[in-house]
Chains A and B, each alone.
Chain A
Amino acid sequence: MALLQLSEPGQSEAPHQHRLAVGIDLGTTNSLVATVRNGMAVCLNDLDGKAMLPSVVRYQADGSVVVGREAALALTRDPRNTIASVKRFMGRGLKDVTHIESTPYDFVDAPGMVKLRTVQGPKSPVEVSAEILKVLKVRGEASLGGELTGAVITVPAYFDDAQRQATKDAASLAGLNVLRLLNEPTAAAIAYGLDNAAEGVYAVYDLGGGTFDISILRLTKGVFEVLATNGDAALGGDDFDHRLFCWSLDRAQIEPPSAVDVRRLLGKAREAKELLSHTEEALLSCQLDSGEAVSLTVSRQVFADITANLVRKTLAPMRKALRDAGLKPDEVKGVVMVGGATRMPHVQRAVAEFFGQEPLTNLDPDKVVALGAAKQANALAGNRSADEDWLLLDVIPLSLGLETMGGLAEKVIPRNATIPVARAQEFTTYKDGQTAMAFHVVQGERELVSDCRSLARFELRGIPPMVAGAARIRVTFQVDADGLLSVSAREMSSGVEASVTVKPSYGLSDDEIATMLRSGIDHAGDDMSARSLREQQVEANRLVEATRQALADDPELLQAEERAGVEALVRTLEALAAGDDLAAIKRGVTALNKGTETFASRRMDKSIRSALTGQNIDQLEV
């Protein structure tokens, strides 16, 4: 298999083989998978030649799962077991879900995140999303002809930590190696900017099926620097359908219909909305199970009027993002439109008016996110060619903080901080002899903790007893390049060290994820241990390959005996990976990871030195 053709140790010019990587746009309404082929980003089509996979999952009574267009056909027939727009429920509790009354689902309120009761039992939005991702993974592998090295999955820029973590878990559940979570507007900017060699400040207005993002980016010499982002994680095209649906109920004087009729009428509302992007008038007609019929003509003007406040809801985030970026609307050089909902003429008009210029629509708003994600996946997998020397600097959308006295939230990392970022804050004990301290991690801009999203609660125990105020407890927030937070706390003043690290979660424990993984595999008739072994082998081979690449790139950084040591570990792991002793492969991976620590540290020093040298040369030339 081409994937595993490795260069021999000692061979300095390692042929950089092409690693198979994809970008996935996991959308509210539709999902896509794309890759870079011969230097061009392309969407991968299904067997019918269609790129878009409707984000609809149907759980059937016989235990099978159907995804996409076939599932969408059952939306009105089997509304409870056919799940659409599941992205709206990712990392969300029951109270956070908007228009819950017009969804046909049987919700189970679980701590942190809702579940949906189906004929196959309660399903978490993470599991439902994983079904969509599995289909795209299979499509990617079939199309590229091999196992994927990894995938970049896009998320709305305004997704909070719980929603991001849920997305990453869904990808793991689908068996994908997540190279990066990438913000959707940033993905669009990559696709757009790299194709147009753009420079200057750009705004990306991304109105999808269920989410709205606005990002302000500065593009300079291949660096995409996000200056500010804002949005509404519960506003999208679905809300326009819903408004039209309510209007039609009101006009036709019908009582709130059954779940089946809701689906039917919502579907008709969506069709009418889409038609109105091309025509002045659309007919909304629907025969309901109740015996009642709806037959209404909607004009563009009426539709614009009844949805004007939805469009207006996107203006405040735009103003806030600009203010955070320290810019005025006329300082924006171009506005990129992303998401199917930006096809609505009155949305385009509002954006044009706000920025005083016509927005750019030359890339397909449905595909641009997946295409950008594919470019990023290609670069992250190590397939970057010399002329692709670009870099992405993204931000966190919402401030992260801790609860303090009186239920107030104290910000630790402000919104729009460039990631990766870390901040530490010190606290002390307030009682004599206090040995434990509780922390509550929250995300949001509001002052009251109750108005922010609760991400995690944890306790630091084992603080040595001291007088009040003597302990020094340092709490460190680290946000990685995926925008995911981990928090650690440590007592600093004593020799005794108490420390704890938490990954905020939304109620799914590692055990639960393991259970999901197992049950998913039982279905496939596969064997759990075989799968674990396979995954460990892939991981081991990835590490072997990455280490050889590093040895080939920077041979001068190791003494002969050091190099021999690393090479021995590489050969050992390679031999182990060809066998089937799971525990031994794991040990080999750990050993090689540990054995390359020093090498990694020298490689980083070399990189930094080269950056500094470059800088000095620049100065000399001035």
Chain B
Amino acid sequence: MSIDLQKDYFALFGLPRAFRIDREALERSYLGLQQQVHPDRHAHLPEADKRRALQWATRVNEAFQALRRPLTRARYLLELAEVDAALETNTAMSPEFLMEQMEWREAVGEASEAGDMDELDALHRRLRAQAAGIEETLAAQLDDAHDHAAAAETVRRLMFLDKLDQEIEDALAALES
């Protein structure tokens, strides 16, 4: 009788299993589910209901977090396809890409040392634009070509960018306090 929605976040939100996602539908479905499962809806019920509500609401939040960001969504799709992307261990990237990363890192380091928030903001925007381009590639690889090996490689590139993004955020936050 229990619904088996544990395995697939896309099914949980009633969405097709794909990288290209209808963000509005995702959000609408997320809020709709939380309306049903959130512990606040079950606070007046017996312990067993409360425990289930906690588990389900936790699960729904986890699923939403995984699908809402392109990087985590792509990683999740690879996981569903049982592709071992060796994301943590395989760091072999093309020399051009690594060179580019070093340049980025230097630029961020310089701007944050100089306390130049405008420059950091500009770098942030450029980085996001580049990430958007990589996401286009990912969409084609995952949804159209179904080339998971190529997608795993692209995900690894996106992970580098994500880390840089976090570094810029941290530098900006540090300058604000």
Contact = CB atoms under 8 A, between A and B. Distances in A.
Interface of A: 19, 149, 179-180, 220-221, 223, 225, 316, 319-320, 323, 376, 379-382, 389, 391-393, 417-422, 478, 480-481, 543, 546-547, 549-550, 592-594, 596-597, 599-605, 607-612, 614-616, 618-619
Contacts of A616: 14
B44 A615 contact: no
Nearest to B3: A605
Of all A-B residue pairs in the complex, the 9 with the closest CB atoms, nearest first, are: A382-B44, A600-B48, A607-B36, A380-B43, A481-B39, A600-B49, A611-B36, A420-B58, A611-B32
B61 A480 contact: no
Contact of B46 (A179, A391, A478, A547): A547
A45 B32 CA distance: 38
A149 to B, nearest CB: 8
Contacts of B38: 391, 393, 481
Contacts of A608: 3, 5, 33, 36-37, 56
A614 B5 CA distance: 16
Task: Tell me if A's interface is mostly helix, strand, loop or mixed.
Answer: helix
B interface bracket (residues with beta carbon within 8 Å of A):
35 or more
A549 B177 contact: no
Interface string B85-123: 000000000000000000000000000000000000000
A482 B46 CA distance: 17
A599 B42 CA distance: 14
Contact of B43 (A180, A220, A550, A604): A180
Nearest to B32: A611
Contacts of A600: 45-46, 48-49, 51-52
Given A220-B31, A391-B34, A610-B36, A603 B49 contact: yes
A422 B5 CA distance: 18
Contact of A592 (B44, B46, B61, B65): B46
B54 A611 contact: no
Interface string B37-77: 11111011111110111101110011011000000000000
A392 B3 CA distance: 25
Contact of A549 (B36, B45, B54, B172): B45
Contacts of B33: 608, 611-612
Contact of A618 (B3, B28, B34): B28
A603 B173 CA distance: 44
Given A380-B44, A550-B46, A600-B46, A319 B176 contact: yes
Nearest to A315: B176
A481 B57 contact: yes
Nearest to A482: B39
B81 interface: no
B25 interface: yes
Contacts of A592: 46
B169 interface: yes
Contacts of A597: 48
Contacts of B41: 391, 607
A301 B11 CA distance: 61
Contacts of B14: 612, 615-616, 619
Nearest to B38: A391
B40 A480 contact: no
